[in-house]
Amino acid sequence: MGLRLKFNLVLLAVFMAGFGVAGYISHGLLDRHAREQVLGEARLVMEAALAVRGYTVAQVRPHLSAQMDKQFLPQTVPAFAATETLNELRKKYPNYAYKEATLNPTNPRDRAADWEADLVNTFRNTADSKEIAGERDTPTGRALYIAHPIRIESPACLACHSTPEAAPASMIKVYGTANGFGWKLNETVGAQVVSVPMSVPLENAAQAFRTFMTSLAAVFAAVFVVLNLMLSWLIIRPVSQMSDAADKISTGDFDQPEFPEQGTDEVAVLASSFNRMRRSLEKAMQMIDG
């Protein structure tokens, strides 16, 4: 096995190990960054919903509450306002979803699906839980979701949800008495759920990973060529010349020129030593012949 082959095998083994480690680490980092990006988007949508809720309670409801006895206005309900506002967002970004999923909702559209009901029950069983994040498959691809609990923390909420008798007659006229009642103070009745698509960030991460690995392979190929050229020029060629010269000198051919001794590297030292050996051997042969 030649020196060049040994060198290239070692270099290839080092590259494959480095390529694998770099690929593993970079893939994990890019994938994690993509998920953090999606999670940030989901939290931004959640904060938008909370802002709409707060605005409705502080600046909309006080101006319309006097009309509630005559006509029920769902625009005064924070959950309704947040859902309607973010439904407008969905017209442009249909894969982004917001829902106030409730186990026993007044508005049937808010009824929790099976997977949303599982989130609500998790919040009900762990009172200190503030957020749940996860991933799920949807018809449009993989999506990340976050959920916050909906807890009855104000007695004012029970005015519409304790019993049908206590609820505004105008609300009963719109929604009836079958749903949305029996809620209790400090009870978790639902969850705010935001779903954000992961396809685009994950594809961007995959593209960045492919670009990085291709660049790394190209850099290795360039380094491989340069190192082989340096190996040939600085080591293999002078060593091969010395080997050829040694073969000829061993048969008594002392007409071979001496090797240049410029430099202080190992090859130059070897050339100097070879030249001394050649001169010594030539003198010894002359003494024997004489």
Instruction: Determine whether domain 26-205 maps to CATH 3.30.450.
Output: yes
Highest-confidence segment of 2-16, 62-76, 176-190, 223-237 = 176-190
What pLDDT shows up at residue 261? 64
What pLDDT shows up at residue 233? 76
Kindly list the domain boundaries of the chain, sorted by start residue: 3-11+210-289, 26-205
288/18 Cα distance (integer angstroms): 58
Q: Which amino acid is at 128?
A: D
Tokens for 112?
A: 């929790």
Residue percentage of the chain with pLDDT more than 90: 33
Beta bridge partners of 98: 194
Residue 288: burial class (beta carbons within 10 Å; 0-12, 13-18, 19+): exposed
Give, for 194, the enclosing helix (H) or strand (E): strand 188-197
For range 263-283, the mean pLDDT? 72
Q: What is the per-residue pLDDT across 135-169, written as a single tens digit (0 to 9) for each?
A: 988 887 888 999 999 998 888 778 788 888 888 88
Q: With contact defined as beta carbons under 8 Å apart, do 106 and 160 qualify?
A: yes
Residue 65 half-sphere exposure toward CB, CA atoms < 13 A? 11
**For residue 260, pLDDT beyond 70:** no
Beta bridge partners of 99: 193
209/31 Cα distance (integer angstroms): 9
Tokens for 265?
A: 């590297």
Q: Domain spanning 3-11+210-289 has what CATH number?
A: 1.10.8.500
Stronger pLDDT, 231 or 218, i.e. the higher one? 218
For range 230-237, the mean pLDDT? 78
What pLDDT shows up at residue 263? 65
**What is this structure's pTM?**
0.69
